[in-house]
């Protein structure tokens, strides 16, 4: 495979298949376990474990956000590949459902009972907040 120095391509893959694909990308911004990153064309090869966080994909036409729920990122020859258990674009996110999930998680965290798994509630809250951040974009 030859290196393409004129553009950057982004592929986000889940067990259900490719959930997002974009060519002619100018910048990809996300958050790995060790901090935030930005990738432009010509970036050195890298692999990183991802946090639950929105990935921003900037093109000349604008910016897309994709809620990525962990996983791994690889950069190689101007192709950014993200493999995640789940990734959702704004048009897939049900904002009302995410708001209800946020409220349920907050209630569990604020008034825990012995049968509540706090770590699970905190992760549910984080997922709901990321969905709201991505889903509310105009």
Would you state the pLDDT for residue 3?
47
Determine if residue 52 is left, alpha or beta; phi over 0 gives left, psi from -120 to 50 gives alpha, anything else beta.
Answer: beta
Q: Is the dihedral of CA 67, 28, 82, 33 positive or negative?
A: negative
How do strand 87-89 and strand 79-83 relate by DSSP bridges? unpaired
Instruction: Domain count for the chain, please give it.
Output: 2
| Entry pTM | 0.85
The average confidence (pLDDT) of the chain is 92
**Neighbouring-strand partners of residue 87:** 68
Q: Do the Cβ atoms of 51 and 70 come closer than 8 Å?
A: yes
In a domain, 101, yes or no: yes
Structure-model confidence comparison of residues 109 and 4, the more confident one: 109
Based on the fold, state whether residues 67 and 99 are members of the same structural domain.
Answer: no
Based on the fold, state whether residues 44 and 63 are members of the same structural domain.
Answer: yes
Based on the fold, state whether residues 86 and 99 are members of the same structural domain.
Answer: no
Residue-wise pLDDT tens digits, 99-130:
999 999 999 999 878 887 888 889 999 999 99
């Amino acid at each position: 495979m030859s290196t393409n120095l004129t553009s950057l391509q982004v592929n986000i893959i889940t067990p259900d298949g490719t959930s997002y694909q974009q060519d002619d990308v100018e910048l990809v911004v996300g958050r790995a376990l060790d901090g935030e990153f930005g990738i432009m064309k010509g970036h050195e090869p890298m692999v990183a474990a991802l946090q639950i966080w929105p990935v921003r994909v900037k093109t000349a036409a604008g910016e897309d956000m994709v809620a990525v729920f962990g996983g791994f990122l690889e950069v190689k020859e101007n192709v950014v590949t993200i493999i995640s258990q789940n990734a959702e674009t704004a048009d897939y996110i049900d904002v009302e459902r995410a708001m209800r999930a946020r409220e349920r998680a907050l209630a569990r965290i604020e008034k825990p009972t012995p049968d509540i798994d706090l770590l699970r509630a905190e992760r549910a809250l984080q997922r709901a907040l990321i969905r709201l951040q991505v889903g509310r974009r105009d």
